Structure 1
């Protein structure tokens, strides 16, 4: 051993102390040796001074060795303790080991080699015990920290649950408020629209051109405001699950042409071409015609709003497995890929500023998304900034009201994707990223 060791020999026999000192010296141990003859002095000095190892003699006349070891350990005095004993006293040595002694050596076997070996072994055992104790303390401290962190996490989780509950309640109150207010606003707005239409009848054409123009503006703005109110009402019903589909068998081509005819004047006011292509072997489907028309109106309204020049195409075509596709394409401003996941969120618009160029509630696509998923359908989107956008809606020919919204698997790029009323926007977003623009209508 290269380090100088502090060693204490406690023995009432001077000859035995000398034998230990000589054996350690012959073993070449670099040491600072102290000797004591009684146990009381040993306890006192060990209470104030650190030693690398302590050798206890065969008998301590003033203090029983077992009692001394127990007092040392109970006082948290940690030091390797080697008991030097006779062969006839081996049972006592075993008791001392159980009480806290590190090792024992028969006095008859004291030699430089044996004593050095016992010394090194005792120090190694002691250091290993200290490392184990330190690791145990660290584990205990880590465990206590984990318990405290878990308690803190539980407290935070409870706070989050309370906050989520409050937010959920606030959201429901908001939706109920929107539904109530939208319903209340529709009554006077319908009256405004109705009276404006009456005033514009030919039989009551005693109005001047300026008066007729003003009433026409009242009528148009009233219709626009009613459309916004209806959007808020529909969205609030969808959010609380109170909007039901009223399915019937109808001609989807007629509904498509009706929606296009209603939007054609708006497209012509911007000098936009509005083209329709219907390619169906059987145009009868079982769905909600009012909601299908609403989907088409919303898609066309967006296409016209965000297209300054060019064309808008509407296509209805057959799909395998008794499904039909409704596609609306435009040559408008397009949508950035980073905004794909946001445009189907309620009240969300790409431009959220108060000075935005394109007005609206931001509910059109959110309503479309909810309605399509209620019908068991899927939405695909492809868009490029400055080039245009394409929305494709796939619907079953016959919806089943009892299972509307059930998960329907879709394979896109070798991945199965589900679209349902319970799906998150994340899964819908994967579907909408699929590339589906046909070469004929390539943007």
Structure 2
């Protein structure tokens, strides 16, 4: 049965539309409703003639597609009543022809569509540009990473080279010292005439041997000190002493170096009545180098040494001479290692060019500086300025004073370490993690502290200078009052077998990973089964995990939201956190960011427990900062306990058996 035009017209009239047409496959109009006719579209005319030039292909495609299947929202620009109009057509095949239902779009709307199309085109173009830019950035990033890796390799090679140099200097210097000491001892023995007198010529020869050996010994000592300074291994041994006493000893030491007292006069001006608290040995080493250098390059005149206070807190020592002086272009070079300035007197004077570089580095180690003023042919003035009290002294004193007042909210940790810098490092990150550091620079200090305070743990460096730390370790583990205090040996030498044999609970080589140390101390200080914090806003989920952990040594803490969970983590410092991915007003990412931003909670391992199917990107991101991701759907008691144990093991926390004794 074929539909007639009148039937189709009645059908179209029942629809809400603006114009309706029936056309053949080539675009000839078979029928047009009254609205279409008002726009000049009449039967027997070709609708393609009304298509705006440039849109012919779009019109042809519409007819082709509509002859086979329904088409909607197909926009074509037509010229109706002499004006271009955009018409949105819906079409479908009807009895070998095409029925069109068209809606005329207002010009504003059409313009908006064109503007949107233009914007889409611009966005597509911009996306292509961004894609190209992204590709270039990725290539640049790869190049930067490759360069960074190359720089790291170069830095590693430099560090290795510096370490080899340091070891070589130290090893060779120590090997040289043994025969040198023999030469010095034998030459002094010969000059003492204990086995018979030497004739005058022999005494001169042996004296030359002794002087050369002493010069070589000084050079080796300087090389060792420079090597230690470069490696940062030269400890500061600050002590209180009077400047007057130091001044008198220095004067007595330097007077024998004056070769001709008639030609050169060594004058020590009276020193002020003041006490210093710094490294007396290093201060003496600096001034001996400066005075010896002045005497060496002064043929006639005076070498004058004076001292005075400046700004009330600094000591300024000036070594002036009337020697040959130093040209302005050479004044910076004299502080370089193994550098000697050309000149007749310089070549005549013996030396290695290490004295002034060593003096400047030692001054820096004491918190001071050396300044030089010199005029060729007139003389030189070396000015040493150092603080009366070394900076480490005051900082360490404040730390010791704070340690005398126990803080009940912090677990005490006894740190037996003679290097103040290492103590400061321990104090900085352990205090941030909730511990109170009790410093002891000697085993005697440590024993005194143990009489009044029972620490949660002891950090022990077994390489204390001039200290029998092995005996201290054995005594701590032998004494019933202290044998259950965990001792963590942290040192630079690998003596693990001996430390373990004497009872050390842990042995770590320096530098110690701070997160690992904090995790270990937190467990030792707790002295109980591991704490597990569950952060989930579903009561049923928290209840389920609570039932899973029944009859286990784990202590359960609960939080119903992320903020409470973070607060509990800071105050209770749990060993493991079970965290729901999606909380009220927060996600796991928000909670993890807050945990990682706080040194107290950063080391705590986190296990994600979620009922959501996570996108690959989020799962990968979570995997970088958590121990595991568990699905609530498949969560079981065995799975929960196994993942908690894995997290504790990865964190370096040993679980205690029920019969095992807890710490203090």
* Alignment TM class, shorter chain as reference: 0.5 to 0.7
Deviation at 1:309, TM superposition (A): 6.3
Structure-2 separation of matches of 1:210 and 1:192: 19
Distance 1:233 1:404 in 2: 28
Q: Is the 8 A contact 1:303 1:332 kept in 2?
A: no
Q: 1:186 to 1:64 in 2, by over 3 A?
A: same
Identify the residue that residue 207 of structure 2 maps to in structure 1. 216
Q: Is the aligned partner of 1:257 residue 2:251?
A: yes
Cα distance in 2, alignment partners of residues 370 and 335 from structure 1 = 22
**Inter-CA distance 82–405: structure 2 relative to 1 (3 Å threshold):** farther
**Highest relative contact order (Cα 8 Å, sep 6+), 1 or 2?**
1
8 Å CA contact retained: 1:259, 1:296: no
Give the match for residue 148 of structure 1: 139
Q: How does 1:322-401 map to 2 (within 5 A)?
A: 322-330=313-321, 331-334=323-326, 336=328, 340=332, 347=337, 349=339, 357=347, 360-375=351-366, 377-384=367-374, 386=376, 388-399=379-390
Match of 1:175 in 2: 166
Secondary structure, in 3 states, of the residue corresponding to 1:334?
coil
The worse-fitting range, judged by mean Cα deviation, of 187-196 and 83-92 is: 83-92
Distance 2:78 2:210 in 1: 113
Query: Per-residue displacement from partner, 1:18-61 (whole Å, max 9, x unpaired)?
Result: 5567xxxxxxxxxxx7795xxxxx4xxxxxxxxxxxxx449843
Higher helix share: 1
Structure 1 equivalent of residue 308 of structure 2: 317
- Report the 3-state secondary structure (helix = DSSP H, G, I; strand = E; otherwise coil) of the residue aligned with 1:211: helix
Per the alignment, do residues 263 and 210 of structure 1 end up closer, same or farther by CA in structure 2, a change over 3 Å counting? Answer: closer
Matches of 1:226 and 1:132 in 2, distance apart? 78
- Residue 90 of structure 1: SS of its match in structure 2? strand
**Shift in alpha-carbon separation, 1:214–1:125, aligned structure 2, 3 A:** same
- What is the rounded CA distance, in whole Å, between the counterparts of 1:365 and 1:315 in structure 2? 19
**Partner of residue 78 from structure 2, selected from 84, 91, 95:** 84
1-structure distance, mates of 2:264, 2:291:
12
**Post-superposition shift, 1:351?**
5.9
Which residue of structure 1 aligns with residue 630 of structure 2? none
Question: Aligned-pair distance for 1:64?
Answer: 4.4
Query: Aligned-pair distance for 1:176?
Result: 3.0
Alpha-carbon distance in structure 2 between the residues aligned to 1:34 and 1:142: 35
On the 8 A contact 1:57/1:84 being kept in 2, the answer is: no
Deviation at 1:192, TM superposition (A): 0.9
* CA RMSD in angstroms, aligned pairs only: 5.0
What count of residue pairs does the alignment treat as equivalent? Answer: 336
C-alpha separation in 1, matches of 2:54 and 2:60: 17
Tell me how far apart the structure 2 counterparts of residues 272 and 295 of structure 1 sit (CA, whole Å).
Answer: 21
CA, structure 1 residues 380+66, in 2 after alignment: closer, same or farther (shift >3 Å)? farther
Q: Is the 8 A contact 2:360 2:370 kept in 1?
A: no
User: Aligned in 2, Cα 1:85/1:310: closer, same or farther, shift over 3 Å?
Assistant: farther
In structure 2, the residue matched to 1:431 is none
TM-score (norm 1): 0.58
Mark the CA change 1:191 to 1:300 in structure 2 (over 3 Å): closer, same or farther: same
8 Å Cα contact 1:374-1:405 kept in structure 2: no
Asked if residue 278 in structure 1 is aligned to residue 270 in structure 2, the reply is yes
Say if 1:421 and 1:206 are closer, same or farther in 2 by CA, change over 3 A: same
> Secondary structure at 2:319's aligned position in 1?
strand
Contact 2:314 2:388 in 1 (8 A): yes
Shift of 1:182: 1.8
Q: Which runs of 5+ in 1 are unaligned?
A: 1-10, 22-32, 37-41, 43-55, 71-80, 94-103, 407-419, 423-443
8 Å Cα contact 1:275-1:311 kept in structure 2: yes
Deviation at 1:142, TM superposition (A): 1.7
For residues 168-194 of structure 1, give each alpha carbon's deviation from its aligned partner in whole angstroms, at most 9, with x where no partner exists. Answer: 344234323322322232222122122
Residue 231 of structure 1: aligned partner: 222
Deviation at 1:227, TM superposition (A): 0.6
1:343-393 alpha-carbon deviations (Å, 9 max, x no partner)? 656x363769xxx95764443334333433443x41141335636543322
Give CA deviations for 1:69-111 in whole Å, capped at 9, x if unaligned.
Answer: 99xxxxxxxxxx9643988963759xxxxxxxxxx9959x9xx
Whether the aligned pair in 1 keeps the contact of 2:331 and 2:372 (CA below 8 Å) is no
Contact 1:259-1:293 at 8 Å conserved across structures: no
Instruction: After superposition, give the CA deviation of every residue in 1:261-295 in whole Å (9 maximum; x if it has no partner).
Output: 13322x769x5554332341x15545444333211
- Report the CA distance shift for 1:35/1:197 in structure 2 as closer, same or farther (over 3 A): closer
Q: Gaps spanning 5+ residues in structure 2: where?
A: 1-25, 29-44, 92-101, 398-419, 423-664
Following superposition, the deviation at residue 247 of structure 1 comes to: 3.0
8 Å contact kept, 1:252–1:284:
no
Query: Can you list the C-alpha shifts for 1:148-202, whole angstroms capped at 9, x where unaligned?
Result: 3223323332343344344334423432332232223222212212222222236
Q: Give, in whole Å, the separation in 2 of the partners of 1:381 and 1:66.
A: 97
Partner residue of 2:64?
62
**d(CA) in 2 for partners of 1:136, 1:351:** 66
Cα 1:12–1:210, aligned 2, differ >3 Å: closer, same or farther? farther
Q: Determine the structure 2 residue equivalent to 1:7.
A: none
Cα distance in structure 1, aligned partners of 2:252 and 2:67: 107
Query: TM-score, length-normalised on structure 2?
Result: 0.41
1:303 aligns with 2:305: no
Aligned to 1:249, what secondary structure does the other structure show? strand
2: distance between equivalents of 1:385 and 1:172? 39
CA distance in 2, matches of 1:364, 1:404: 31
8 Å contact from structure 1 (residues 200, 212) kept in 2: yes
1:164 aligns with 2:166: no
Offset, 1:306: 5.0
Give the match's secondary structure for 1:245: coil
SS at match of 2:250: helix
Question: Aligned partners of 1:421 and 1:334: how far apart in 2?
Answer: 37
User: 2:283 — aligned with what?
Assistant: 292
Cα gap change, 1:219 to 1:338, in 2 (>3 Å): closer
